Amino acid sequence: MFIMGTAGHIDHGKTTLITALTGINPDRLQEEQFRGMTLDLGFAWFTLPAGNIGIVDVPGHHRLVKNMLAGIGQLDFVLLIIAADDGWMPQTQEHVDILHLYGVRHGVVALTKVDLVEKDWLQLVQIDIQERLAPTTLADSPIIPVSAVSGYNLETLKQALDTLASTLPAKPDLNDPLLWIDRVFTIKGAGTIITGTLKDGQLEAGQEIMIEPLGRRARVRGLQTQTKTVPRGLPQSRLAVNLTGVEKDELARGMYLCLPQKRPHYSLINAFIQLLESAPSALKNGQRVKLYVGTQETLTGIRVLGAAEIGPGQNGYVQLELENPAHFSFGDRFILRHSEQQKTLGGGQFIEKGIPVRGTDMRLVGPRRLDHLFPFEKPEGYLDLKRLEQKHCARGEDLSLLVAEERTFWTSTQFAAKGLPIPSGLLQLDNFLMAPKQFLKLRKYLEDTIEMFHKENPLAPGLSKETLRAAIGVPSRLFDQVLRQIPSLQEKEGALSKKNHKVRLSAAQEKELARLLNLVEETAFEPPALSVLEAQGFSRQLIFGGSHLGRLVLLPTEQVTTPKILDRAWTILWEEEAFQKGFELTVFRDRFKTSRKHALAFLEYFDAQGLTIRKGDVRFLSKPPFTD
């Protein structure tokens, strides 16, 4: 199905022509039919060889442009209607400006009321239309003279529309439906009904959906298209959706329907802006204007990035703070209008969700950072005009790479959800993706941090792996994958160090350690506490260094002994009969002539090593003595 919109000045015959083409009067309101003027969006449809054509008929009065904007952004092509007796008029110009800003590139011009003018006048009007359309996205659109009253050239117009529809590029089903709500009403016995144009996916009866930014879950009770009940709504179709779980009074035009957790909405966005030559004023910092996206209208504050203003006919980059949040996907277009003069200023394209900035130097405000950036980074320089421009102009793999650089890492699923290709330049680590720039930044941080740790802690084997992983905020699986890509680092017993790093003692430290070993040996089975040794002047670094070198052992109770003393104690346990069939702590204490506290320190160490097995108050031997 294709969606065609109408555009044109008031009283140029839009509704009359649509009725003549389809047999359906799109003016649904009694007031519209009484006054002969479209006040709100109207809908109709007809069938051509190329397929079904859904029609969104928009009002032409200058005071109702906001209603026109609610329908124009969902179109495949446009039927621009110009009356031959009036020719190009102010609302014709504003509608064409809006179509141009929206990037609508496919259209046909219906030159109506040709039975009211002379042939020479008709030729002049056609030439004028061609010249006015030349600088717009609708340049070279075919112009078909018609009369809805007499039926003149209606078949020719249908053929032109069929030719256009048959040449439109196919739109893929992205399995990510979006339906901007343009009408809400109730039907007795059915309940709440909303209508809109479905994009980028399908809807099915019984499906659970979200109404955003309301944040309300609902269920699709039934679907209709062209007054026919269908089990499934297809992309680019006009749909009436019967909902359960939500009341009519909760809904309004400008909300949208999507799958749960699939279509985020934003209150702060960074965007590219283009102002019309005819804009009534420049766009200035601090100004408030009206923004139109989808079927939504909301006030928004302006922050011009890198300048004080954007003048008529100029373009630039801005940050917009929306009064009501709205949904945007990359490249989505919107219109800006003056909040008081009711005139179109220009339009823009969404680039990315924003970070709060202040001043034209774009420094960040507060502690907020982009998702998944390193916690230790200062984000002040993240938002810059050059990067924003690169991203706005990029497509395909170039855009994918720029998006990938916004976070430390992505998953394949997250990337696919954005509809972006995975460029060959990305580093794929299991299900994770990293941009080369982010990987190099992460690698440098790890290498520099470990290098500094070695300088400050020469007697330590390395820095805790878990401490480093937590500092950069990446999952364990990804961290393991990253470490495999850094040959300069090694992991041993949960610590990360430089490759081939070994704890080495200076001559003075060797002398100090020898003195410590002698002291520990003097009271072999009364091991001194770590705190006592520190009080006697032995540094904690030296004690841990001796432990890493295998010359000291730190018992579970933070008492210090040596491998030789442990070996001696274990040999006694293994050889003497008193310990062969199980023993209690008091037996160990009495044999080694030590205190209960010291006996417990040794036995808890043996338990931890699996050398003894404790059952209640009795321990049993499990392994033979230590062997070289």
Check which CATH number belongs to the domain holding 413 and give it.
1.10.10.10
- Do 26 and 55 contact (CB within 8 A), yes or no? yes
- Residues 250, 274 within the same domain: no
DSSP 624: P
Task: Report CA-CA distances (Å) from 410 to 177, 308, 367, 379, 403.
Answer: 23, 36, 23, 19, 10
What is the model's pLDDT at position 67?
A: 59
More confident residue, 72 or 556: 556
More confident residue, 33 or 190: 190
Residue 382 has pLDDT above 60, yes or no: no
Token pair, residue 547, equals 């432990």
Q: Pick from 477, 502, 527: which residue ends a domain?
A: 502
- Residues 95, 112 within the same domain: yes
User: CA torsion sign, 328 to 334 to 339 to 345?
Assistant: positive
Residue 254: give the domain boundaries: 178-258
- Which bin fits 122, alpha (ψ -120 to 50), beta or left (φ > 0)? alpha
Q: Is residue 626 part of a domain?
A: no
- Residues 98, 198 within the same domain: no
CA distance 451 to 570: 39
- Residues 541, 471 within the same domain: no
Q: Is residue 318 part of a domain?
A: yes
The helix-helix angle for 385-393 and 396-404 (nearest 10°) equals 140
What is the model's pLDDT at position 425?
A: 84
Is pTM, for the whole model, over 0.75? no
φ, ψ of residue 516 in degrees (nearest 5):
-65, -40
What is the model's pLDDT at position 375?
A: 54
Least confident of 209-223, 373-387, 479-493: 373-387
CA distance 118 to 111: 13
Q: What is the CATH number of the domain that holds 116?
A: 3.40.50.300
- Read off the pLDDT of each residue in 72-93 and give the average, rounded to a whole number: 88
Q: Is residue 371 part of a domain?
A: no
Residue 556 has pLDDT above 90, yes or no: no
More confident residue, 146 or 510: 146
Q: Is residue 628 part of a domain?
A: no
Q: Give 45's strand partners.
A: 54
Least confident of 234-248, 482-496, 500-514: 500-514
Q: Is residue 627 part of a domain?
A: no
Residue 62 has pLDDT above 70, yes or no: no
- Read off the pLDDT of each residue in 337-365 and give the average, rounded to a whole number: 76
pLDDT band for 81, please (50, 70, 90 cuts): very high
DSSP 537: T
The percent of residues in the chain predicted with pLDDT above 70, rounded, is 89
- Residues 233, 290 within the same domain: no
- Residues 354, 423 within the same domain: no
Tens digit of each residue's pLDDT (9 = 90 or more) over 138-187? 999 999 999 998 999 999 999 999 999 999 887 777 788 999 998 898 88
pLDDT band for 517, please (50, 70, 90 cuts): very high
- Read off the pLDDT of each residue in 429-448 and give the average, rounded to a whole number: 91
Residue reference for tokens 């109770």? 557
Q: Is residue 409 part of a domain?
A: yes
Residue 437 has pLDDT above 50, yes or no: yes
More confident residue, 71 or 290: 290
What is the model's pLDDT at position 306?
A: 81
Q: Is residue 557 part of a domain?
A: yes
- Do 560 and 552 contact (CB within 8 A), yes or no? yes
* Burial category of 222 from C-beta neighbours within 10 Å (exposed 0-12, middle 13-18, buried 19 and up): middle
Residue 201 has pLDDT above 50, yes or no: yes
What is the model's pLDDT at position 374?
A: 58
Residue 223 has pLDDT above 80, yes or no: yes
The percent of residues in the chain predicted with pLDDT above 90, rounded, is 48
- Residues 228, 302 within the same domain: no
What is the model's pLDDT at position 628?
A: 45
The helix-helix angle for 507-522 and 563-575 (nearest 10°) equals 30
Q: Pick from 443, 470, 502: which residue ends a domain?
A: 502
- Read off the pLDDT of each residue in 465-473 and give the average, rounded to a whole number: 87
Residue 32 has pLDDT above 50, yes or no: no
pLDDT band for 1, please (50, 70, 90 cuts): confident
pLDDT band for 539, please (50, 70, 90 cuts): confident
What is the model's pLDDT at position 404?
A: 86
Domain tally for the chain? 5
Token pair, residue 92, equals 């014709």
Residue 611 has pLDDT above 60, yes or no: yes
What is the model's pLDDT at position 26?
A: 57
Tens digit of each residue's pLDDT (9 = 90 or more) over 391-429? 898 888 888 888 888 788 898 888 887 778 888 888 999
- Report which secondary-structure segment, H or E, holds 583: strand 583-584
More confident residue, 226 or 321: 321
On the question of a cis peptide bond just before residue 213, with omega within 30 degrees of 0, the verdict is yes
- Residues 22, 145 within the same domain: yes
More confident residue, 104 or 70: 104
Contacts of 473 (CB under 8 A, 6+ apart): 372, 374, 375, 408
What is the model's pLDDT at position 355?
A: 74
Residue 336 has pLDDT above 60, yes or no: yes
Q: What is the CATH number of the domain that holds 195?
A: 2.40.30.10
- Residues 553, 514 within the same domain: yes
- Read off the pLDDT of each residue in 516-545 and give the average, rounded to a whole number: 90
- Residues 514, 603 within the same domain: yes
Q: Pick from 258, 283, 305: which residue ends a domain?
A: 258
DSSP 255: B
Residue 436 has pLDDT above 50, yes or no: yes
CA distance 552 to 267: 60
- Residues 197, 144 within the same domain: no
pLDDT band for 626, please (50, 70, 90 cuts): low
What is the model's pLDDT at position 113?
A: 93
- Residues 28, 158 within the same domain: yes
pLDDT band for 70, please (50, 70, 90 cuts): low
Q: For the chain, give the mean pLDDT.
A: 85
Q: Is residue 20 part of a domain?
A: yes
pLDDT band for 527, please (50, 70, 90 cuts): very high
Least confident of 191-195, 441-445, 499-503, 508-512: 499-503
Token pair, residue 6, equals 């109408």
